[in-house]
Structures are given as C-alpha cells and as structure tokens.
Amino acid sequence: IVKVFVLTFKYDLDYTNNISFFVNLIEVFLFFVSRFVKTALNSNIHSFLY
C-alpha cells in the first residue's frame, strides 16, 4: 500500500492535488473512526446501565 502511494506521489506532478486527496482520505477515516468509537461507547454505556 505504501509503495503505491509513493509511486503515485512520484509520478503525479500536481502535488497540491495529491496532498488535498490525502487530506480528504484522512478526514473520512477520522470521521468513520469517531462514529465507530461513539457507537461503541454508547453500546457499552447502555449495556452497563441496563
């Protein structure tokens, strides 16, 4: 996976486009992680209360 990223980064001359793409990927990843953590915490709290 890292090799593919490095290759695309090497051969893509538009660096700003690449960086914005990576930033979007990271934002989506963080969004899903936060949602997963929230649901996990909620389910744990509910199972603990009831």
Give the separation between CA 50 and CA 44, rounded to whole angstroms. Answer: 10
Question: pLDDT digits over 12-35, tens only?
Answer: 656 666 778 888 888 999 999 888
Please tell me the distance from the alpha carbon of residue 39 to that of residue 50, in angstroms, as a whole number.
16
Domain count, the chain: 1
The overall average pLDDT reported for the chain is: 75
Per-residue confidence at 42, pLDDT binned at 50, 70, 90?
A: confident
Q: What is the DSSP letter of 48?
A: H
Q: What residue numbers bound the domain in which 6 lies?
A: 2-49
